[in-house]
């Protein structure tokens, strides 16, 4: 093939057989030629232009036949969805250029967007805890670039499912329509959609999801050897030995291959309180406890002082926040004619940490002192065992074996007690019944009570509901419709159930104390970014102001008075709830997620050599293998070269025919 | 053998148009015979010229008796003499004229015939010659309308094929024709030795000279493509060219400067110059261009 150009060259000089043409006189032509000979070199070049063009043509054709190409990312297909993970782990700065993984992913998507041809369209979805369509399908590259620029890092966890469902909605639109005659028609043309997932893969696979037309490509971002130290817990609690002393508990996890010594600093209201050195083994957790002393209030901040030689690549989890609340003891009143089982369940050491339980006899219900106290928010919870007040108190209540003296509850109740109900179902997800096993509880007599509107049945039996809960203003009433200790026909006190013998009994009452005894409930939960926070607020205001960690204030409407649901927890830190200029509540949002903090790419050994490759994603039954970081797609050049050759050919033809040079 | 032209040299329409014309010369020449043209000489015509005293020997018929009666002096009335005009058409019949459609020679012949016809109907002395004629070969002298057919036959018989330089041909012409008059020289002026010497003969011969340069369309806008070997039909000279836009541009420039040079040369020497394209109908050339140049009116 290499001989062709020299052959053309030789032919060009051999061939030049001019066609003879008789003219009246060469007189003028000779003068013309003489003129042109003055710049003859240029003339020769001009004359040889056709030769050069032929050589160029052959060169292009030969080059095309050699099938050149280069490695690069290419877009094959018509429609594309770019899923960009923006979760906390994507803020790691372990990319080659030192930018965050998210920026890396964005720049890689931008590079792909630049390759979009006119017939292609793409959409961009970012996802962390919640998926978000940043840009719907468009072929406008400017819009796509703008959409990419809008994606900011989030502190949330990774949830691919939502993003996949969203993408599925766009990629597999309603496929069938039914006409009047009942015939089914395909509405939309089924089109494959290329799904590019840019993520570090720090999440579990997605189960029970069908990809349909989606053609997934997983492009992992990150490195195997990334290092990170993370605070994975910060709790406050009462000292085990001395209940009046509060303690702070900090847990640090080392996500690297070597054990590390790290200093944990603890600040209270931005004042350094204490620091502790912690040895954390590789891939393991270390913890330390700080004594806060008595009567502490404010915001706790734990901070990791990362050693210099350690390259910590995710800074989000180097800080943690906690709110130390006013330890006003919750007051719980137990009104009972005598119930040893209940009393002992409420007087355990654990129960003591939740609340101070006072016990009175039913006779007190008639007294003026009780009436005034019960109507003035004195108690957080009043437990009526085998008795009932005349009016409902201003407190949460738990009724045992009796109905509240209000019509709403009486309407759903059956007056006759049922015998031997068997528990068939209970709401395990409800905080009152969490971690309880009730299937083995035997009950003799019970009332069947259906909760009024807005209430929930928590325990269902063969005869009907026997434990329900319903809101009453800002309080809640829970009705356990069977007695624990009752009176038999002979007037002897006897057990109505064998529940007190089960482990679930004290646990249940601890749950009751924990659930109803006011503020303590909130501080034990740890709030995660991008997840809604539910708070109980001692306020009747309809609107509250929430101050975000960065100082921005948002006004939140309360749907039910005293109950604040806040969704805007994108930032890590302490949120302050303001009620008419007074701090009503504080809550902290922390990452505390080992999955997100472990920023190393999930690796898998493959082949006999044990080469480390990125673990593939499993979506439904499909394993989406990770594409290597620089996707080795061969970009072919021959089409371009042939097109160029064609252009040269046309040019040559044109020049030959039109006698146009240069 | 005479080539029978497909088209008659002079069509009836052209003849009708030519009937109205006459040849004009700025110079007043002495004719040989009585014609329709005023002469320098005084003579017999109806056009009054002057009076002069009678001297013995004058024709008594010319005396103005009215003046004699008034002045008692013998005065002769002089009238302008009317004479014929010598009209020559000199056709370049070299091989180079045998190009184009119609060929330049055809065109030249038609033009010469048309002008000759104008001369004939005005009783001028018409002689149509070619360059190739030797000093002794003379063409017939034509006079009067009845000579038209002879003239046409003579013109038709002119064939291309001689190769003689312009200068030589014109020199021979001048030797053959001593008489002065109007000379129309029809040629393409393409002579490698130049046209200047030839035209200078006309100047020195003191004739009223018209040079009509006939170029074919192919010469003015050549349609050539590719690599060519141009062969001169007269001397087989070869010019190798590769047709290109710059080359053609350059050709146009050269042609223009050639034409301009001839024009300048002629006007500087009192010779009328006219460039004719073989696509321009002879009628139009005669009626418009030549009338504007002052050859006919």
pLDDT tens per residue across span A576-591: 888 888 887 888 888 8
- What is the extent of the structural domain holding A260? 228-327+593-597
Q: Which two tokens stand for residue A200?
A: 């570090």
Q: How far is CA B281 from CA A51, A298, B36, B107, B213, in A?
A: 45, 114, 29, 9, 15
- Whether residue A580 is contained in a domain is answered as yes
- Whether residue A73 is contained in a domain is answered as no
- Whether residue A430 is contained in a domain is answered as yes
Question: Could you say which of A30, A35, A657 has the minimum Cβ distance to residue B239?
Answer: A30
Residue A405 sits in the same domain as residue A509 = yes
Residue A292 sits in the same domain as residue A391 = no
Q: Where a domain ends, among A483, A518, A553?
A: A518
**Contact between A28 and B251 using a beta-carbon 8 Å cutoff:** yes
**Contact between B233 and A16 using a beta-carbon 8 Å cutoff:** no
Distance (Å, whole) CA A155 – CA B207: 112
Task: Name the residue in chain A with its Cα closest to that of B259.
Answer: A28
Residue A306 sits in the same domain as residue A426 = no
Task: Give the closest-approach CA distance of A25 to chain B in angstroms.
Answer: 5
* Residues in B 151-180 with any Cβ partner in A closer than 8 A: none
**Contact between A33 and B191 using a beta-carbon 8 Å cutoff:** no
Q: Which residues pair with A461 in a beta bridge?
A: A423
**Contact between B96 and A21 using a beta-carbon 8 Å cutoff:** no
Establish if A29 touches chain B: CB-CB under 8 angstroms: yes
Task: Name the residue in chain B with its Cα closest to that of A21.
Answer: B230
Report the pLDDT value the prediction gives residue B4, as an integer from 0 to 100: 43
Cβ atoms A195, A81 nearer than 8 A: yes
For chains A and B, count residue pairs whose Cβ atoms are closer than 8 Å: 103
Task: Name the residue in chain A with its Cα closest to that of B244.
Answer: A659
Distance (Å, whole) CA A89 – CA A222: 10
* Residues in B 67-86 with any Cβ partner in A closer than 8 A: none
Establish if B47 touches chain A: CB-CB under 8 angstroms: no
Residues in B touching A16 (Cβ below 8 Å): 227
Q: How far is CA B120 from CA A202, B21, B91, in A?
A: 116, 11, 18
Residues in A touching B228 (Cβ below 8 Å): 18-21
- Whether residue A602 is contained in a domain is answered as no
Residue A417 sits in the same domain as residue A558 = no
Residues in A touching B226 (Cβ below 8 Å): 19, 656
Report the pLDDT value the prediction gives residue B266, as an integer from 0 to 100: 92
The better pLDDT of the pair A416, B174 is held by B174
- Whether residue A605 is contained in a domain is answered as no
Distance (Å, whole) CA A218 – CA A126: 15
Distance (Å, whole) CA A59 – CA B77: 98
Q: Does domain B12-30+84-293 have CATH number 3.40.50.410?
A: yes
| Domain residue ranges in chain B | 12-30+84-293, 38-83
Q: Which residues pair with B86 in a beta bridge?
A: B125
Task: Give the closest-approach CA distance of A643 to chain B in angstroms.
Answer: 27
Residues in B touching A657 (Cβ below 8 Å): 225
Cβ atoms A275, A288 nearer than 8 A: no
Establish if A429 touches chain B: CB-CB under 8 angstroms: no
Q: Which residues pair with A133 in a beta bridge?
A: A125
CATH number at A429 reads 3.40.50.880
**Contact between A19 and B248 using a beta-carbon 8 Å cutoff:** no
Task: Give the closest-approach CA distance of B14 to chain A in angstroms.
Answer: 29
Report the pLDDT value the prediction gives residue A244, as an integer from 0 to 100: 66
Residues in chain A with pLDDT values less than 50: 519-524, 629-632, 661-662
CATH number at A150 reads 3.40.50.410
Distance (Å, whole) CA B81 – CA A178: 117
Distance (Å, whole) CA A423 – CA A425: 6
* DSSP-assigned letter for residue B49: E
Report the pLDDT value the prediction gives residue A175, as an integer from 0 to 100: 57
Task: Name the residue in chain A with its Cα closest to that of B226.
Answer: A656
Residue A339 sits in the same domain as residue A460 = yes
Report the pLDDT value the prediction gives residue B186, as an integer from 0 to 100: 92
Establish if A179 touches chain B: CB-CB under 8 angstroms: no
**Contact between A18 and B255 using a beta-carbon 8 Å cutoff:** no
**Contact between B246 and A16 using a beta-carbon 8 Å cutoff:** no
Residues in A touching B227 (Cβ below 8 Å): 16-19
**Contact between A26 and B227 using a beta-carbon 8 Å cutoff:** no
Q: Which two tokens stand for residue A628?
A: 């290597």
Task: Name the residue in chain B with its Cα closest to that of A23.
Answer: B232
* Residues in A 323-352 with any Cβ partner in B closer than 8 A: none
Report the pLDDT value the prediction gives residue A272, as an integer from 0 to 100: 87
In this model, does residue B264 exceed pLDDT 90?
yes
Report the pLDDT value the prediction gives residue B2, as an integer from 0 to 100: 39
Residues in B touching A47 (Cβ below 8 Å): 242, 244
Q: What is the ipTM of this complex?
A: 0.78
Establish if B244 touches chain A: CB-CB under 8 angstroms: yes
Residue A208 sits in the same domain as residue A339 = no
Distance (Å, whole) CA A603 – CA A398: 52
Residue A475 sits in the same domain as residue A401 = yes
Per the structure, how many domains does chain A have? 5
Residue A447 sits in the same domain as residue A502 = yes
pLDDT tens per residue across span A606-637: 766 667 777 777 787 777 877 764 444 566 67
Task: Give the closest-approach CA distance of B79 to chain A in angstroms.
Answer: 53
In this model, does residue B36 exceed pLDDT 80?
no
Our separate counts of H helices and E strands in chain A read 15, 39
What band does B259 get if pLDDT is binned at 50, 70 and 90? Answer: very high
CATH number at A270 reads 2.60.40.10
Residue A354 sits in the same domain as residue A494 = yes
- Whether residue A139 is contained in a domain is answered as yes
- Whether residue A293 is contained in a domain is answered as yes
pLDDT tens per residue across span A484-523: 888 777 878 888 899 999 999 999 998 888 888 754 444 4
Sign of CA dihedral A141, A142, A147, A153: positive
Residue A189 sits in the same domain as residue A90 = yes
Question: Could you say which of A18, A22, A28 has the minimum Cβ distance to residue B255?
Answer: A28
First to last CA, chain A: 29
Report the pLDDT value the prediction gives residue A202, as an integer from 0 to 100: 73
Distance (Å, whole) CA A108 – CA B167: 86
Establish if A639 touches chain B: CB-CB under 8 angstroms: no
Establish if A47 touches chain B: CB-CB under 8 angstroms: yes
* DSSP-assigned letter for residue A393: -
Residues in B touching A27 (Cβ below 8 Å): 190-192, 232
Report the pLDDT value the prediction gives residue B35, as an integer from 0 to 100: 62
**Contact between B251 and A36 using a beta-carbon 8 Å cutoff:** no
Residues in A touching B234 (Cβ below 8 Å): 25
pLDDT tens per residue across span A124-156: 999 888 888 888 888 888 999 999 999 988 888
pLDDT tens per residue across span B128-159: 999 888 777 888 888 888 888 899 999 988 88
**Contact between A21 and B228 using a beta-carbon 8 Å cutoff:** yes
Q: How far is CA A392 from CA A406, A633, B231, in A?
A: 8, 74, 128
Residue A422 sits in the same domain as residue A298 = no
Which residue in this structure is represented by tokens 């042109």?
A36
Cβ atoms B248, B222 nearer than 8 A: yes
Distance (Å, whole) CA A432 – CA A511: 5
**Contact between B231 and A32 using a beta-carbon 8 Å cutoff:** no
**Contact between A28 and B247 using a beta-carbon 8 Å cutoff:** no
Residues in A touching B252 (Cβ below 8 Å): none
Report the pLDDT value the prediction gives residue B18, as an integer from 0 to 100: 85
């Amino acid at each position: 093939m290499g001989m062709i150009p020299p052959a053309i060259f030789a032919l060009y000089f051999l061939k030049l057989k001019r066609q003879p043409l008789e003219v009246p006189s060469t007189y003028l032509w000779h003068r013309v030629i003489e003129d042109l000979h003055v710049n003859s070199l240029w003339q020769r070049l001009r004359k040889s232009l056709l030769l050069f063009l032929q050589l160029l043509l052959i060169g292009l054709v030969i080059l095309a036949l050699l099938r050149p190409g280069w490695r690069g990312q290419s877009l094959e297909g018509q429609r594309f969805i770019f899923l960009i993970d923006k979760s906390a782990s994507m803020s790691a700065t372990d990319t080659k250029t030192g930018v965050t993984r998210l920026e890396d992913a964005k720049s890689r998507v931008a590079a792909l967007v630049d390759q979009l041809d006119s017939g292609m369209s793409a959409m961009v979805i970012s996802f962390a805890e919640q998926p978000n369509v940043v840009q719907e399908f468009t072929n406008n590259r400017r819009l796509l670039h703008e959409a990419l620029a809008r994606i900011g890092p989030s502190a949330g966890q990774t949830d691919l499912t939502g993003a996949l469902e969203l993408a599925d909605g766009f990629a597999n639109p309603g496929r069938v329509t039914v006409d009047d005659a009942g015939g089914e028609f395909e509405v939309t043309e089924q089109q494959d959609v290329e799904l590019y997932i840019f993520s570090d893969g720090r999440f579990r696979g997605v189960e029970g999801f069908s990809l349909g037309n989606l053609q997934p490509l997983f492009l992992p971002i990150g490195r195997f050897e990334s290092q990170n130290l993370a605070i994975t817990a910060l709790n406050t609690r009462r000292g085990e030995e001395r209940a009046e002393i509060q303690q702070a508990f900090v847990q640090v996890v080392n996500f690297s291959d070597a054990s590390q010594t790290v200093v944990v600093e603890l600040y209270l209201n931005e004042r350094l309180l204490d620091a502790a050195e912690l040895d954390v083994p590789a891939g393991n957790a270390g913890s330390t406890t700080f004594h806060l002393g008595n009567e502490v209030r404010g915001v706790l901040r734990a901070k990791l002082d990362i050693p210099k030689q350690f390259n910590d690549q995710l800074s989000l989890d180097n800080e943690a926040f906690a709110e130390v609340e006013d330890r006003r003891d919750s007051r719980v009143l137990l009104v009972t004619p005598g119930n040893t089982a209940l009393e002992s369940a409420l007087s355990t050491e654990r129960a003591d940490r939740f609340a101070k339980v006072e016990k009175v006899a039913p006779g007190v219900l008639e007294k003026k002192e009780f009436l005034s106290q019960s109507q003035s928010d004195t108690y957080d919870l009043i437990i009526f065992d085998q008795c009932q007040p005349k009016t409902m108190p201003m407190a949460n209540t738990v009724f045992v074996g009796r109905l509240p003296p209000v019509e709403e509850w009486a309407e759903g109740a059956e007056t006759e007690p049922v015998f031997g109900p068997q528990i068939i179902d209970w709401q395990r997800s409800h905080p009152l019944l969490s971690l309880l096993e009730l299937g083995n509880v035997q009950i003799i007599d019970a009332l069947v009570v259906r909760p009024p509107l807005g209430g929930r049945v928590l325990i269902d039996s063969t005869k009907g509901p026997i434990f329900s809960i319903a809101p009453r203003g800002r309080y809640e009433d829970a009705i356990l419709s069977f007695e624990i200790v009752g009176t038999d026909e002979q007037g002897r006190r006897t057990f109505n159930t064998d529940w007190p013998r089960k482990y679930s009994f004290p646990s249940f009452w601890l749950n009751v104390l924990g659930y109803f005894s006011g503020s303590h409930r909130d501080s034990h939960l740890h709030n995660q970014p991008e997840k809604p926070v539910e708070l109980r607020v001692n306020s009747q205001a309809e609107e509250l102001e929430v101050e975000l960690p960065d100082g921005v204030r948002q006004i939140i409407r309360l749907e039910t008075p005293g109950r604040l649901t806040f969704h805007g927890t994108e930032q890590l830190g302490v949120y302050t709830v303001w009620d008419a200029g007074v701090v009503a509540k504080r809550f902290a949002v922390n990452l505390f997620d080992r999955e997100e903090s472990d920023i190393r790419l999930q690796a898998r050994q493959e082949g006999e050599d044990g080469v480390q490759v990125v673990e593939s994603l499993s979506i439904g039954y499909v394993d989406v293998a990770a594409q290597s970081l620089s996707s080795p797609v061969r970009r072919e050049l021959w089409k371009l070269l042939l097109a160029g050759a064609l252009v040269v050919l046309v040019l040559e033809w044109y020049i030959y025919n039109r006698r146009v040079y240069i | 053998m005479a080539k029978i032209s497909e088209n008659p040299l002079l069509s009836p329409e052209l003849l009708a148009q030519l009937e109205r014309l006459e040849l004009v010369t700025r110079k007043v020449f002495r004719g040989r015979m009585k014609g329709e043209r005023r002469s320098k000489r005084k003579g017999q015509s109806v056009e009054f010229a002057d009076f002069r005293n009678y001297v013995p020997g004058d024709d008594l018929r010319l005396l103005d008796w009215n003046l004699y009666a008034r002045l008692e002096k013998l005065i002769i009335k002089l009238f302008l003499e009317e004479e014929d005009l010598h009209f020559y058409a000199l056709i370049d019949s070299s091989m180079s004229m045998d190009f184009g459609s119609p060929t330049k020679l055809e065109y030249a012949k038609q033009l010469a015939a048309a002008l000759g016809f104008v001369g004939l109907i005005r009783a001028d002395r018409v002689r149509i010659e070619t360059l190739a004629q030797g000093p002794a070969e003379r063409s017939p002298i034509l006079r009067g309308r009845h000579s038209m057919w002879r003239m046409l036959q003579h013109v038709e018989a002119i064939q291309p094929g001689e190769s003689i330089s312009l200068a030589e041909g014109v020199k021979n012409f001048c030797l053959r024709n001593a008489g002065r008059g109007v000379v129309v020289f029809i040629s393409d002026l393409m002579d490698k030795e130049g046209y200047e010497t030839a035209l200078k003969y006309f100047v020195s011969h003191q004739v009223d000279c018209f040079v009509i340069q006939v170029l074919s369309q192919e010469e003015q806008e050549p349609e050539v493509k590719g690599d060519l070997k141009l062969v001169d039909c007269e001397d087989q000279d070869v010019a190798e060219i590769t047709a290109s836009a710059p080359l053609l541009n350059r050709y146009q420039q050269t042609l223009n400067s050639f034409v301009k040079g001839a024009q300048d040369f002629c006007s500087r020497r009192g010779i009328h110059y006219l460039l004719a394209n073989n696509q321009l109908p002879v009628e139009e050339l005669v009626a418009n261009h030549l009338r504007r140049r002052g050859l006919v009116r």
